[in-house]
Amino acid sequence: MNNIRTRFAPSPTGFLHVGGIRTALFAYLVAKQADGQFILRLEDTDQKREVEGSAEHLMESLHSLGIEYDEGPDRPGDFGPYRQSERLDIYKKWAQRLIDSGRAYADPYSSEEVQKFREQAQQSKQPFLYRNHRPENPPAWDGSQPLRFKSDPKEYEWHDEVMGDLRTGPEVIDDIVLIKSDGYPTYNFAHIVDDAEMEITHVIRGQEFLSSQPNYLNLYEALELERPIFATMPHIMNDQGNKKLGKRDGAKDVLDYIKDGFLPDAMVSFIATLGWNDSTEQEIFTKKELIEKFS
Say which of 93, 247, 252, 259 is annotated catalytic: 247
Whether 164 and 3 have beta carbons less than 8 Å apart is answered as no
Whether 189 and 147 have beta carbons less than 8 Å apart is answered as no
Strands (E), the chain: 5-8, 37-40, 104-106, 147-149, 156-160, 164-168, 177-179, 202-206, 229-233
Listed as own residue / partner, the contacts of 131-140 with beta carbons closer than 8 Å and 24 or more positions apart are: 131/173, 131/174, 131/175, 133/109, 134/105, 134/175, 135/105, 135/108, 135/109, 138/105, 138/106, 138/107, 138/108, 139/106, 139/108, 140/106
DSSP 210: G
- Is 92 annotated as catalytic? no
Whether 82 and 42 have beta carbons less than 8 Å apart is answered as yes
Helix then strand count (H, E) for the chain reads 9, 9
How many residues are listed for the chain in this entry?
Answer: 295
Cβ neighbours of 29 (radius 10 Å): 24
Distances (CA, A) of 229 to 9, 106, 209: 16, 32, 15
Upper half-sphere CA count for residue 178 (Cβ side, 13 Å): 32
Active site (catalytic) residues? 247
